[in-house]
Amino acid sequence: MADNESEEHGAGDTDPSKNTEPTPPVGDTQASVEDQLVAANSKAKGLESEIVGLKASVEQEKTARTTAEGKVSENATSLAAMQERLTASEGEVATLKTSNDSLNTVDLERRRAAVVAVGASAESVANLNSDELAVLEKTLPGITAKMKIPDQHGFGTGNGNGETADLTAREKISRGMEAESDTS
């Protein structure tokens, strides 16, 4: 083997006695090769186990990503459902507000009619609760029907253009009150 090395290197000298590298004994060479094989096998096994670990990590990442994507999709569906509920709730609130405004307008008209009918102050009628106002209306039938168009003061005896048109409505109510008090 030393001769071949000399030729390859162009030394031209094939005499083994002139070779400066000591030739290891055959047993030592074989042991060295076996040690290298054992080390290589051990390293290969370590790499195989590292590859198995990396594959497991990749699978865990894939599972985690799939789970996260599922949660994102679930959250998007939940968000869409909440948006629908919000829109429906906003519609209900708008309906309730309209209904409430309407009831407040009716209540205000009833109170205005009572003020006109009995000649009471707005403050005294404003302090009546709904039951007391209902009793007053029963006592004075037709108040709300006769007091629909507000006059310039906001009471229901005008013709709609801010002028006081039908003063007889007040007179009729007051006469009705007098007639009821006479008959009772």
Total-model pTM: 0.30
Tokens of 9: 């290197």
**CA 20 distance to own-chain centroid:** 85
DSSP alpha helices (H): ranges in 119-166?
Answer: 122-126, 130-139, 143-146
List the chain pLDDT tens, one digit each, 184 residues.
445 444 445 555 555 555 566 555 555 666 788 888 888 888 998 899 899 999 999 999 999 999 998 899 899 999 999 999 999 888 888 888 887 777 777 777 777 776 666 665 555 666 666 777 677 666 665 554 444 444 445 554 444 444 443 434 455 455 455 545 555 4
Query: In sequence order, which ranges of the chain are alpha helices (DSSP H)?
Result: 2-8, 26-118, 122-126, 130-139, 143-146, 168-183
CA distances from 141 to 54, 65, 67, 76, 131 (A): 91, 75, 72, 59, 15
Residue 25's identity, in one-letter code, is P
Q: Which residues pair with 149 in a beta bridge?
A: 157
